[in-house]
A = this chain, B = another copy of it.
Amino acid sequence: MKDARRSGCPINLTLEILGDRWSLIVLRDMMFGNRRHFRELLTKSDEGIASNILADRLRRLVEEGLISKADDPSHKQKSLYSLTEMGIALVPVFAMMGAWGRRFLPVTEELSIRAELLEDGGPALWDDFMEELRAIHLGAPRPARSVFGELQAAYEATVARRLTAAAC
């Protein structure tokens, strides 16, 4: 993964930053799972990223300006990773990728419920979500609506439903 510019095409430049198997996974967990610390990202991910890969991706994403790193005041050793505006602006990309994946790939219900809401909500919901992410990650004023809460609640409801069904 070198950083030599292959061309000035927006798709190409985007792929030079995000075109691998892990970068968007890390961003997804920060964005939709509110994972902000190394250990959270390492252990609470369904895909099981290796610690050296995670360290490398975080460093690279900081370098490229998609996330930022700061000390967590509550713990001398904790680092707090935050999305920047550049990272937050990926919401529509995630929405479209999620919609595409949901349509063509063998997704599981509980892991695709967020993608479904994001797709159904459209640009208005994306904007609300980005506004909330700016509050969470950039210290902007917190908006009235919590899209994050809605997505999380829907996810948890789906998990609960599965557990109930399994118990019967």
List residues of A whose CB falls within 8 A of some B CB. 5-17, 19-21, 24-25, 28, 46-48, 65, 86, 89-90, 92-108, 111-112, 115
Contacts and interface: CB of A to CB of B under 8 A. Distances in A.
B21 A16 contact: yes
Contact of A101 (B6, B14, B108): B14
Contact of A19 (B5, B11, B19): B19
A102 B105 CA distance: 28
Contacts of A86: 104
Given A9-B46, A9-B101, A11-B97, 17 more contacts: A5-B106, A6-B47, A9-B28, A9-B47, A9-B111, A9-B112, A10-B98, A10-B99, A10-B101, A10-B112, A11-B24, A11-B25, A11-B115, A13-B105, A14-B101, A16-B21, A92-B99
Contact of A14 (B13, B20, B90, B100): B100
A19 B53 CA distance: 15
Q: How many copies does the complex hold?
A: 2
Nearest to A86: B104
B17 A19 contact: no
Contacts of A16: 21
A6 B46 contact: yes
A99 B96 CA distance: 12
Contacts of A107: 8-10, 13
A105 B86 CA distance: 10
